[in-house]
């Protein structure tokens, strides 16, 4: 598969809605990611210590188990949009720039973690498919991973005792905007380890995450 040309501007709301429609059209029995989980998945792929070819990560977009697509399915329009977002995220991570993650506000009763969970689940799916990042023995990874995985229920992290111990010391985000800001910061800290180019805290502080989007209309 040839990589898409980088876009001149970030994907907008219309692009995101079109992307979700294409994901919804993936035929059963496949279970594709939704756009929020897709965003987390792509970040999880991009933060691997070695580049992951699109031929390897693409099946995980179309199906959570990576099953082959039925004959006759044309995934080219979907792949084109996904590759645009992949390129957009790659540029942000490489430059350690703040970006607007695809996290969506739910109803007023929802907690920040409930809104964050689809994105973080996508990130975790990438780590299950490509375990090289989680296999790195570096204590600098623990805190940023804890900032992401704190949105899971503790019983879902029984096999990650080191993360649980750090999560217990963290204050949960007060609102979704703070959770999103923590997410972006955590990704940049992970990139400092996997890409071996530290960034100063002042550089990160000079940029602010945008307010989370409203929940998508289906």
Q: What CATH number does residue 105 fall under?
A: 1.20.120.740
What band does 11 get if pLDDT is binned at 50, 70 and 90? Answer: very high
Instruction: Give dist(CA 18, CA 141) in Å, integer.
Output: 35
Q: In sequence order, what are the residues at sequence separation of 6 or more whose Cβ sits closer than 8 angstroms to the Cβ of residue 213?
A: 13, 102, 103, 104, 105
What band does 100 get if pLDDT is binned at 50, 70 and 90? Answer: very high
What band does 171 get if pLDDT is binned at 50, 70 and 90? Answer: confident
Cis bond leading into 182, ω under 30°?
Answer: no
Give the mean model confidence (pLDDT) for residues 113-129.
Answer: 95
Domain assignment present for 94:
yes
Domain assignment present for 125:
yes
Domain assignment present for 3:
no
Q: What share of the chain is helix, strand, coil (3-state, %, to 5)?
A: 55, 0, 45
Domain assignment present for 7:
no
- 215 has pLDDT over 80: no
Domain assignment present for 136:
yes
Domain assignment present for 196:
yes
Instruction: Give dist(CA 206, CA 200) in Å, integer.
Output: 10
Tokens matching residue 188: 């940049």
The range of the structural domain enclosing residue 97 comes to 13-68+75-214
Domain assignment present for 139:
yes
**What's the first-to-final CA gap in the chain, in angstroms?**
30
**Under DSSP, is residue 8 helix (H, G, I), strand (E, B) or coil?**
coil
The closest of 44, 69, 70 to 57, measured between CA atoms, is 44
With contact defined as beta carbons under 8 Å apart, do 17 and 216 qualify?
A: yes
Q: Cα–Cα distances in Å, from 187 out to 27, 129, 194?
A: 32, 18, 10
Say what the alpha-carbon torsion angle 168, 174, 180, 181 is, to the nearest 10 degrees.
-90
CA of residue 210 relative to chain centroid, distance: 16
**Under DSSP, is residue 129 helix (H, G, I), strand (E, B) or coil?**
helix
Domain assignment present for 4:
no
pLDDT digits (tens, 9 = 90+) for 180-198: 999 999 999 999 999 875 5
Give the mean model confidence (pLDDT) for residues 84-102.
Answer: 95
Among 58-72, 169-183, 202-216, whose mean pLDDT is lowest?
202-216
**Under DSSP, is residue 70 helix (H, G, I), strand (E, B) or coil?**
coil
List 214's β-bridge partners, or say none. 105
What band does 164 get if pLDDT is binned at 50, 70 and 90? Answer: confident
Instruction: Please state the domain count of the chain.
Output: 1
Tokens matching residue 85: 């977002």
Instruction: Give dist(CA 119, CA 174) in Å, integer.
Output: 18
Record the pTM.
0.86
């Amino acid at each position: 598969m040839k990589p898409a040309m980088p876009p001149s501007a970030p994907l907008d709301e219309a692009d995101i809605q079109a992307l979700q429609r294409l994901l919804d059209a993936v035929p059963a029995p496949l279970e594709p990611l939704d756009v929020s989980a897709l965003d987390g998945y792509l970040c999880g792929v991009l933060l691997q210590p070695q580049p992951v070819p699109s031929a390897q990560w693409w099946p995980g977009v179309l199906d959570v188990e990576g099953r082959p697509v039925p004959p006759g399915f044309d995934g080219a329009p979907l792949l084109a949009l996904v590759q645009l977002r992949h390129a957009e995220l790659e540029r942000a991570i490489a430059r350690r720039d703040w970006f607007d993650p695809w996290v969506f506000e739910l109803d007023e009763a929802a907690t920040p973690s409930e809104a964050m969970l689809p994105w973080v689940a996508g990130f975790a799916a990438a780590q299950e498919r490509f375990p090289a990042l989680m296999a790195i023995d570096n204590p600098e990874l623990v805190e940023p991973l804890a900032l992401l995985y704190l949105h899971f229920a503790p019983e879902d992290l029984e096999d990650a005792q080191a993360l649980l111990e750090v999560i217990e010391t963290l204050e949960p985000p007060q609102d979704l905007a703070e959770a999103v800001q923590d997410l972006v910061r955590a990704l940049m800290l992970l990139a400092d380890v996997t890409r071996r180019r530290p960034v100063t805290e002042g550089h990160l502080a000079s940029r602010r995450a945008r307010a989370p989007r409203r929940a998508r209309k289906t």
